[in-house]
Chain A
Amino acid sequence: SQTIHQWPATLVQPVGSPLSLECTVEGTSNPNLYWYRQAAGRGLQLLFYSVGIGQISSEVPQNLSASRPQDRQFILSSKKLLLSDSGFYLCAKSGGAYNEQFFGPGTRLTVL
């Protein structure tokens, strides 16, 4: 199964408020998990990736953080949101024999 769940689907938050986005995946155990951000009309920016529980690599320094408390759970957080954090946040997974990467449905975040 390539099923990936993300919630919430949409979110409107004020500047300076905290953030928690959750992603859970089904299928093979020990998947690689990823968080991407996509600004309106732009490309895919890799934010974090994880190859196992508690293992997080950051691609872009910023006010976001990620955690992987369980094998199939990946969380994106912020203590204080900035206007520039607005965007479409996509969780992705890869793994298995061919290591293809599949995306979740995304969370559309608007920071006002």
Chain B
Amino acid sequence: GENVEQHPSTLSVQEGDSAVIKCTYSDSASNYFPWYKQELGKRPQLIIDIRSNVGEKKDQRIAVTLNKTAKHFSLHITETQPEDSAVYFCAASGSGGSNYKLTFGKGTLLTVNP
């Protein structure tokens, strides 16, 4: 089955700096890659996603890039703010008959210091 590795597990940046979180996946047939943000005690919230027919997608201060050849994708947050502090999860869809299941990375705890 699919395996998703996420790095780093913790990331601390100064307000205004950029943050990058990277994920790799194992199943070359995976075609959907969402990112979730989870604040303490809350549900994960879908913040951005990308499908395999594009290499980059941007939404204001966040962007996601996908390299299908290398099987990795990354989340980029620019001009970080304290409210960006949270745990971020990447995920990849399954392939074939299980393409509705997501396999999640273990998460990255992002801390933005004022």
Contacts and interface: CB of A to CB of B under 8 A. Distances in A.
Interface of A: 32, 42-44, 46, 49, 51, 90, 94, 99-106
Nearest to B1: A59
Contacts of A43: 89, 104-107
A49 B34 CA distance: 18
Interface residues of B, number: 17
Interface in B51-91: 89
Given A42-B106, A105-B42, 18 more contacts: A43-B89, A44-B89, A46-B102, A49-B100, A49-B101, A51-B100, A90-B43, A90-B44, A99-B32, A100-B34, A100-B46, A101-B34, A101-B46, A101-B102, A103-B44, A103-B45, A104-B43, A106-B43
A32 B100 contact: yes
Contact of B44 (A32, A42, A44, A49): A44
Contacts of A42: 106-107
A94 B49 contact: no
Given A99-B32, A100-B34, A100-B49, A44 B104 contact: yes
Contacts of B36: 103
A103 B49 CA distance: 15
